[in-house]
Amino acid sequence: MISNQKSVIKNHNGLSLIEIIVAAVIIVVAAVGIYIGIMVAESQLNRNYHYRAATLIASGECDWQYYNRVYFDRFDEFISGRPVVLDYYEGTDQEPLVGTMTMDLTENVEIVFGRTMRYMTLSVEIVWDEPLVGERVVVVKEDVYR
């Protein structure tokens, strides 16, 4: 009976050290790949947030200028190089992400069906330095008819 149990144990194959190491390497490579994917996605999410914030600020400035033109027949004073905050890192020691807003107003003329159309184009540009990416620019334009 004892000899029968020994033969069963001898025939039982376990995992070798090489198989365990290969499995560990596969798990580590998969974990590192997932981690890198999450970090890239988070970085892209922050860049998209800053772009969206800049677009909303520029669009809001265009709306404000349009409102002043329609109801008060004037545009507000243009301040070139006005700083705008795109992201404020609350609860951290990190400095806010600040961009620069510049506005430009040009007069244009188009002839449509024999009629002369005079209008002004308001252009608002926001420029900022995106961390790890470099300079980014958002330009929003709005046509204002007389």
Structure-model confidence comparison of residues 3 and 88, the more confident one: 88
CB atoms within 10 A of CB 96: 11
Task: Encode pLDDT of 87-137 as tens digits.
Answer: 888 888 888 999 999 999 889 998 889 899 888 899 999 999 988 889 999
Q: Please report the pLDDT score of residue 36 as a whole number.
A: 96
Q: Please report the pLDDT score of residue 7 as a whole number.
A: 55
Q: What percent of the chain is predicted at pLDDT more than 90?
A: 47
CA distance 74 to 66: 9
Q: How confident is the model at residue 38 (pLDDT cuts 50, 70, 90)?
A: very high
CA distance 87 to 4: 74
- Residues 69-85 have a mean pLDDT of 84
Please give the model's pTM, rounded to 2 decimal places: 0.73
DSSP state string for 33-85: HHHHHHHHHHHHHHHHHHHHHHHHHHHHHHHHHHHHHHHHSS-PPP-TTEEEE
Q: How confident is the model at residue 5 (pLDDT cuts 50, 70, 90)?
A: low
